[in-house]
Structure 1
Amino acid sequence: MTASAELPFIPARYYARLAELLVARGQDAQAVLAVAGINEGVLAAPEGRLTLPQVEALIAEVYRVAPNIPWAFELGRSLKLSSHGMLGYAMLSSPNLDYVFQLLARYFRIIMPTFRLQYRRASEHDEVLLSVTAKLSAQNLLFHVETIAVAWHWEILSLLQGEMPAYDLYLSIGSPRHLERYQSLKPARWHFGWPIQPGFRIVYPKGLVGRELAMADPGALQLAERQCSELAQQTLKEGRLVEWVTAMLTYSRDVITTREELADLLNISPRTLDRRLQDEGASFRELSRQIRFQRACDLLQAGQLSMLEIALELGYRDGANFTRAFRREAGCSPSQWRSHAERQIK
Structure 2
Amino acid sequence: MSEICPDFSTAAMKRPHPCYENPDPKSQLKPNTTCTLKYIKMRPDGIPANYPYLTPKVPGLYANKGVHEHLPVPFFEFRGPGAPPPDLGAPGDVYIDLTPAAHVLYARAEEQWCAWPGPAAALDDLLGHPHFVDCTGARYLWVHPRDGVEWVCVRTVMRRQQALRAAGILTAARLIGDYLRNEATPVKRSPAKRPRIFSKESDAESEAELSDAFYPSKRARIRASGNSASAKSTVSARRPKRPSPDRQLEDELADGELQELRTQKRGLMTAVEERAAGGRAGRAAAIIQMLKKEYTGSCNPAPIPTADEARQRLPDLRCRVDEGLSHVFLRVHSVSRS
TM-score by length of 2: 0.24
CA radius of gyration, larger in: 2
TM-score by length of 1: 0.24
Q: Of Structure 1 and Structure 2, which has the larger fraction of its residues in helix?
A: 1
Larger relative contact order (Cα-Cα within 8 Å, sequence gap ≥ 6): 1
